[in-house]
Structure 1
Amino acid sequence: MSTKEKVRERVRTQETTPANNEIVVYNDDVNTFDHVIETLVRVCDHTPEQAEQCSLIIHYNGKCTVKTDIYDKLKPQCIQLLAAGLSAEII
């Protein structure tokens, strides 16, 4: 004979506010790849590889989401991107 044990677990789920805002950077004919990469590294804390990939996506697709977080954290970063001459917005 085997012994069967029933286990019941109560799982608490806590709703968290999703980080549903994102900074999108758009392609333009003004900024160089180097400038975009350096700006993403400085402002968004990207690694150089990450920033390079984003710059290529921006170039070929016309836009790229570079950061996702809550609005209050994204706003100063977006302002810095705009001050650096990039075309960006929070959506």
Structure 2
Amino acid sequence: MSWQFEEEEIVLIEEKEDEAKGLVVFNDDVNSFDHVIDILIKVCKHERIQAEQCTYIIHFNGKCEVKKGTYKALKPMKEAILDEGINASIV
């Protein structure tokens, strides 16, 4: 592998960070429905009905994409959700 290839690879990764990503929240046996709903309202700025629907999807499907955006926009939301004890990831 040459240095030139590594530089090209870095550029490709940076370009992908601007692409639309999804913030996914995962089900667990710890957090209550009300807690997850409250956090989606607080962090993702969901309306209550949207947060409730996402929470039911999380419960029955094991996960739900709760927000779309760039990695840069979603990262602080993911961190805030994780800080509340809810498992989340950017995909």
1:8 is aligned to none
**Matched length:** 75
Shift of 1:20: 1.9
The structure that is helix-richer by fraction is 2
Tell whether the 8 Å contact from 1:24 to 1:63 is kept in structure 2 after alignment.
yes
1:83 corresponds to 2:78: no
Residue pairs, 1:3-18, within 5 angstroms: none
1:10 is aligned to none
Structure with greater Cα Rg: 1
2:21 is aligned to 21
Instruction: Name the SS for the 1:65 alignment partner.
Output: strand
2:10 is aligned to none
2:52 is aligned to 52
Letter in 2 for 1:45: K
Structure 2: distance between partners of 1:19 and 1:26: 22
Between stretches 81-90 and 18-27, larger displacement belongs to: 18-27
Q: Unpaired runs of 5+ in structure 2?
A: 1-17
Off by >2 Å, runs of 4+ in structure 1: none
Structure 2: distance between partners of 1:19 and 1:48: 28
TM-score under structure 2 normalisation? 0.79
1:68 corresponds to 2:63: no
Instruction: Name the SS for the 1:73 alignment partner.
Output: helix
Structure 2: distance between partners of 1:34 and 1:86: 12
Shift of 1:36: 0.2
